[in-house]
Structure 1
Amino acid sequence: MGLRSKPTQRQRRLGHELRKLREAAGMGAAEACERAGLNKPHLSHIEAGRTACPEPRLRALLDAYGCSDTTLIRALVELTNATGKGWWSAHRDVADDRGRDLAELESTTTAYRVFDWLHVPGLLQTPAYMRSLFTHEDPGATAGDLDARTGFRLRRQRVLTEEPAPAFRAVIHEAAFHMGFVDRVTMLEQLDHLVELARLPHVSIRLLPFRCAAYPGTSGTPFTIHDASAPQLSTVYVEQPNTPLFLFAPWHVEHFAADFARISGISLDPLDPGAADEKSSLGLIQHLRYVL
């Protein structure tokens, strides 16, 4: 079997976790290979995500490393047995490698923590909002291109309504509602959509107003924390102008988790369609409907 030239995020993550477990066990590559019946180049390729690690071999490595965390073992087995051929596989003409990696990650996410100050988060966008965003990102896009990109994002959004639905917590800065790439009608529709989504028991949406005295985020970029069934496999997706990043070092996850907790603490109360308090997230939405 040939080596992968472009491992997916899932494949890279599996290799990273195996290397981390080996190093935590204080074991060199040579000893790990001897105990698991591998040669050193093969283990190197597994840890780099360049080749598969069948379940029996995976379990042999985990035994060698003394891993007894059943939740983590089960999650790693799921990673190694996954084929990567989900619904996103049929969208190669629309989504790049990063986009498909994100869709695959979302398929296993158990809870979301999202912060954005530029846009309404993708999983919460209306079709009209998406098309406005895509049009300004790529002015030369055809109607067919826009339909395809919108369809891909709408398909991603099903993670919020299909069972088992993950917990979804979002903080959106007020600035996102003043961006000029969306006309008033589209933005008003988007605001209404957020109110409707907030009725879902597993969705919590907070707004961070301009008047907040604290700087919103130490990272300065929109981010999403994807919690996993095994906490060790949580991932931070950071949106950047050129290349979005998937971060999974423990200190990265801890940093962004602390950032999200701080941002949540200084934002308005969660959007509640039945709460009309002017100092609540719903109160700010009502204000926005008037001033936009």
Structure 2
Amino acid sequence: MPPSKLPPTIRQRRLGTELRRLRELAQVSATEAGRLHGATQSRISNIESGGYPVSADRVRTLARLYGCSDEPLIEALASMTGGRTRGWWDEYRGILPEPSLDLAELEHHALRMRIATTIYMPGLLQTPEYARALFRDVVPPFDPPTIEHLVSFRIKRQAVIYGEQPTPVTAIIHEATLRMGFGGPEATRAQLDHLVTMSEHEHITVRVVPFGTGSYPSSGSGIIYCEAEVPQLDTVQLDTDIHSGYVGAQPQLIRYRAVLDRLEASALPMAKSRDLIQHVAQNL
């Protein structure tokens, strides 16, 4: 796909959304914004849809034009400019769905992540065998080449938790996830052993919510909460059997922070979580 025809990335769309939010808070129309900024209404609309590259200086100018005085927010928005940044995930464009590529880009730029799962292990902590077993169970089934593309993509996403400056991750996993048995006892045991090993890294926290804790907020969705330079630019990815989606509106971000806080409060401490994981592995 030619660069000019590529859809805007999630980062470009979010930048445009935030600029539109600032304009609307200032009660400035797109036509008036264009007149004040020396641009057309269509140019402002294209910027706000993420379809037109915008410079850091233009972002600063627009933000101040809209009366924004939040310097950390303005600089965080300015850092999101520069057009499309080609990442490793672009190798999969046209092969895998755009939301999958969006997630890889989101994780790449996240400063910290909080993840909650009920049924499946967090993708960033999966083994290839476990991931392959999940993709083989999809209905309707994927063909073998697609399964291998999905597995390789999932493993490449894990680069963010390795290297010299790995992204800190907190994973809150329900006990049901440990006992699902995807791929059979051998694959499950290897996955649980891998989970214990990863939990020993300083930047990775794994905590288990045991059976018997009562209510489990948002139990129908997997949650990946990606923290940005400022809280206003955080993004949540929600994953269900029906669809994956992204939310970034302030009321939604506040809600999912509270959900994750509640889940962490219900989870076992790290040492006891590790003991439970090992207990389940030993009794497969």
Q: TM-score, normalised by structure 1?
A: 0.89
Tell me, which stretches of 5 or more residues in structure 2 are unaligned? none
Distance 1:67 1:167, change over 3 A: same
> Identical aligned pairs, as a percentage?
36
Q: Is it true that 1:167 corresponds to 2:159 in the alignment?
A: no
Amino acid at match of 2:152: G
Q: 1:148: which partner in 2?
A: 149
Give yes or no for contact 1:3–1:50 (8 Å, CA) kept in 2: no
Give yes or no for contact 1:5–1:50 (8 Å, CA) kept in 2: no
The match for 1:281 among 255, 270, 273 is: 273
- The number of aligned residues is 282
Distance 1:243 1:220, change over 3 A: closer
In the TM superposition, 1:1-292 aligns within 5 A as 6-137=7-138, 140-212=141-213, 214-218=214-218, 220-270=220-270, 272=271, 280-292=272-284
Instruction: Kindly report structure 1 stretches of 4+ aligned residues shifted beyond 6 Å.
Output: 2-5
Distance in 1 (alpha carbons) for counterparts of 2:146 and 2:204? 30
Distance in 2 (alpha carbons) for counterparts of 1:83 and 1:50? 10
Amino acid at match of 1:191: L
Give yes or no for contact 1:216–1:263 (8 Å, CA) kept in 2: yes
Give yes or no for contact 1:21–1:65 (8 Å, CA) kept in 2: yes
Residue 73 (structure 1) shift = 2.4
Give yes or no for contact 1:94–1:152 (8 Å, CA) kept in 2: no
Distance 1:223 1:96, change over 3 A: same
Amino acid at match of 2:97: D
Residue 262 (structure 1) shift = 0.4
Give yes or no for contact 1:36–1:57 (8 Å, CA) kept in 2: no
Tell me, which stretches of 5 or more residues in structure 1 are unaligned? 273-279
Q: Cα deviations across residues 103-158 of structure 1 (Å, max 9, x unaligned)?
A: 11111000111100010000000111011111111675454433322111111001
Distance in 1 (alpha carbons) for counterparts of 2:165 and 2:230? 16
Amino acid at match of 1:165: P
Q: Cα deviations across residues 227-274 of structure 1 (Å, max 9, x unaligned)?
A: 00122110000002232111000111110110000011011112x4xx
Give yes or no for contact 1:4–1:50 (8 Å, CA) kept in 2: no
Give yes or no for contact 2:235–2:246 (8 Å, CA) kept in 1: yes
Distance in 2 (alpha carbons) for counterparts of 1:44 and 1:13? 14
